[in-house]
């Protein structure tokens, strides 16, 4: 085999070189930062990296076997390997955002079925075969690898939509491009034999990882709400679209920390974050500004919508045995600035908090 090494090296093409550079780049990035705030598992992208590396080797060996009919067995094995690895390379996307639960192993099931199906090429033309002239012939089920790639990509979109419910429209556009890029490359690879799937998957991996990092940077690590930086960015971006602002402050956090410990305080903040996430939608955006301070921006929302959202939030908080102070300011005229709304909601929240502690201290004395 060493004597054949110069021939194998000549089979390296531009797509292989680009793929190897992308593999090196993505590997360096994952080694440098491979943890994302708990909502994603970017280490799973190593599955994509490893599979793409194996696919490059597979393509080189398959091209080498294609040069000589005497290498039919090698070509058969490498072709089976290639079809088996393609969906697994896409699987890395899905595993990076799928919850870590007991049913996670079921995600491997389609890839295993795909590998078993293409293994039938050893004795049946069901997926593919080679004719007497050593030409490649597709079988009736040759597109199965492509179908499973589609399945994994759409499951990835589903998992992202469930896990990142508050993603921005720009994020959905980026993810859609990732999916279309991989789907288009898979389609060309399966039906036109254009070998661009590997670089397409790796480019999508880099973009997908950037999406995960962006989600991490824009969100509070404890509550999973948008963070202070996102609040100021959205205030600049939506200053004319915000119709109301709610300032929210948790009551009694210091008392919980002092008596029960900071872990109990963190659990209480998480509960508030959970309740605020439950009222979030395209018109309602919730933020943790810092400590026990939260803000809610209402975009193009009427008074009824604002009242119902806050009422639902306070009902859930009360059921958890917690209380919050809330101040709400509504834009009365188009001339009202967002800064004025925030100052007004803060003042009303402090008044509500002052009243709460006045009543709370009176009850403690009694």
Q: Is the pTM of this model over 0.85?
A: no
Instruction: Sketch the domain layout of the chain as residue ranges.
Output: 2-218, 228-365
**228-365 under CATH 3.30.70.270, yes or no:** yes
The predicted-structure confidence for 93-120, as pLDDT tens digits, reads as follows: 888 888 877 788 899 999 999 999 999 9
Cα distance between residue 197 and residue 185, in whole Å: 5
Give the CA distances from residue 67 to residues 11, 63, 117, in Å, rounded to whole numbers and listed in that order. Answer: 11, 7, 26
| Alpha helices, DSSP H, located in the chain | 5-10, 14-32, 45-65, 72-97, 109-119, 144-163, 169-191, 197-218, 228-237, 253-260, 262-278, 303-319, 338-365
- CA 339 vs CA 54, 342, 343, 356: distances in Å: 56, 5, 6, 26
Q: Per residue in 145-199, pLDDT tens?
A: 889 988 998 888 888 877 776 666 566 677 777 777 777 777 776 666 656 778 8
The third-level CATH classification (topology) of the domain covering 2-218 is Rhopdopsin 7-helix transmembrane proteins (1.20.1070)
Q: Supply the pLDDT for residue 36.
A: 57
Round to whole Å and give the CA distance between 113 and 116: 5
């Amino acid at each position: 085999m060493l004597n054949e090494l110069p021939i194998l090296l000549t089979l390296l093409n531009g797509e292989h070189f680009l793929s190897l550079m992308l593999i090196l780049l993505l590997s360096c990035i994952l080694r440098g930062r491979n943890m994302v705030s708990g909502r994603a598992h970017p280490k799973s992208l190593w599955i994509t990296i490893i599979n793409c590396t194996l696919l490059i080797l597979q393509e080189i060996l398959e091209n080498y076997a294609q040069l000589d009919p005497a290498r039919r067995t090698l070509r058969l094995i490498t072709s089976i390997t290639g079809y088996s690895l393609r969906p697994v390379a896409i699987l890395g996307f899905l595993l990076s955002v799928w919850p870590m639960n007991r049913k996670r192993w079921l995600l491997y099931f389609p890839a295993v079925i795909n590998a078993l199906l293409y293994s039938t090429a050893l004795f049946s033309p069901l997926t593919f075969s080679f004719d007497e002239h050593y030409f490649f012939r597709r079988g009736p089920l040759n597109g199965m690898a492509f179908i499973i790639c589609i399945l994994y990509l759409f499951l990835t979109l589903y998992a992202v939509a469930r896990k990142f419910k508050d993603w921005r429209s720009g994020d959905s556009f980026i993810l859609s491009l990732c999916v279309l890029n991989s789907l288009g490359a898979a389609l060309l690879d399966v039906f036109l034999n254009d070998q661009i799937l590997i670089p397409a998957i790796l480019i999508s991996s880099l973009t997908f990882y950037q999406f995960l990092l962006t989600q991490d940077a824009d969100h509070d690590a404890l509550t999973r709400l948008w963070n202070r930086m996102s609040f100021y960015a959205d205030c600049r971006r939506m200053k004319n679209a915000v119709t109301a602002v709610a300032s929210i402050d948790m009551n009694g956090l210091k008392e919980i920390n002092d008596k029960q410990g900071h872990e109990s305080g963190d659990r209480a903040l998480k509960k508030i974050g959970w309740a605020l996430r439950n009222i979030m939608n395209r018109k309602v955006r919730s933020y943790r500004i810092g400590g026990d301070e939260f803000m809610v921006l209402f975009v193009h929302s009427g008074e009824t919508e604002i009242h119902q959202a806050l009422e639902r939030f306070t009902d859930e908080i009360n059921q958890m045995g917690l209380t919050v102070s809330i101040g709400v300011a509504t834009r009365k005229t188009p001339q009202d600035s967002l800064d004025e709304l925030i100052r007004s909601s803060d003042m009303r929240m402090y008044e509500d908090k002052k009243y709460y502690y006045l009543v709370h201290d009176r009850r403690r004395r009694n």
